[in-house]
Amino acid sequence: MQANRKYLNYTTALGISLSPVARAGWPAFLIHECGYQAALENWNHPGVDSPFWRFYHNPEPGCHLLHQGERIPLEPGNCVLIPANTIFDCCGPVPACHCWLHFTVTRLVGPAPQEPVVIAMDETLRVLVQALLRTHGEPVGEARDQRLHHHSAALLHAAFAQMDLPAVPAMPDHLLEVLALIQKAPHADLSNPFLADRSGMSLERFIRAFRQHTGQTPAAYVTATRLRLAGEALALTDKTIDQIAIEHGFPNRHYFTRLYTRQFGCGPAEFRARQHRRRGR
């Protein structure tokens, strides 16, 4: 009688190991919102800006985006990925049949696009969008929301798979742990000596390795992460600006405002006011 086989190794000689890709940190998505409306009236929103990424697809033609003077049609044959902190106009001369995702690329390492990316709808994307739209029509409930999440994640992975992204070297485990700490605890003491100690490296070696794998110094990466997470809190919560500043590692609101304005061209109060006006609050 044939003995039962036990597969204890997670790799084989026949498959392709994807561990280096996963460890490189590209991509992992935190999905904030999934939406679909068949006929949005007056879909005209100038100066849209947000600290998170957006995925747009319109199953019906007629609407477009404007980015730095360039007209980007939203059509059944394409979808658009809009990186975080990209300012654009939504133009709806007709009611917008609009599907969207708001999300954060949580472990992005290496260069990222600086403007909207138009992606042709292939059969994979078309099937995934159709599944997403069908799920929106199901009865409201936790089961539907879980399916929406899985469909949304699959759709984002399929869209990112079509982008011409540079290969990113695999991130060593000790640096991945540091990146996870920065993401999870932006309020903590994230000085270079502290992070070097957490990585198990000398200060000089840590700074050199960090810059090699992320393209930034540890201090610049920490500041950028804190500002990104604070921007998400401004858009997605009702916490005060003082609370958001302290919870994201800034000593006070004034310092936070100065850095936020330098990075994004407007202060946190103005950014939040824009978000509220856009939502009719």
Give start-end residues of each CATH 1.10.10.60 domain in the chain.
Answer: 173-280
Mean pLDDT of the chain: 88
Residue count of the chain: 281
| Residues 217/211, Cβ–Cβ less than 8 Å | yes
Q: Which helix (H) or strand (E) holds 242?
A: helix 241-247
Domain covering 26-162 in this structure, CATH number = 2.60.120.280
For the question of whether the overall pTM of this predicted structure is more than 0.95, the answer is no
Residue where the block lists tokens 């919560």 = 237
Q: Is the pLDDT of residue 4 over 60?
A: no
**Token pair recorded at residue 271:** 């950014």
Specify the amino acid at residue 268: P
**Predicted confidence band of residue 80 (pLDDT cuts 50, 70, 90):** very high
Q: Which helix (H) or strand (E) holds 214?
A: helix 203-214
Average pLDDT of the segment spanning 163-191? 86
Q: Which helix (H) or strand (E) holds 34?
A: strand 29-40
Give start-end residues of each CATH 2.60.120.280 domain in the chain.
Answer: 26-162
Preceding omega of 83 cis (within 30 degrees of 0): no
Taking CA atoms, 277 is separated from 7, 117, 173, 264, 274, in Å, by 56, 26, 43, 18, 5
Per the model's pLDDT, the better-predicted residue between 209 and 14 turns out to be 209
Q: Is the pLDDT of residue 281 over 50?
A: no
Architecture of domain 173-280 in CATH?
Orthogonal Bundle (1.10)
Average pLDDT of the segment spanning 5-22? 64
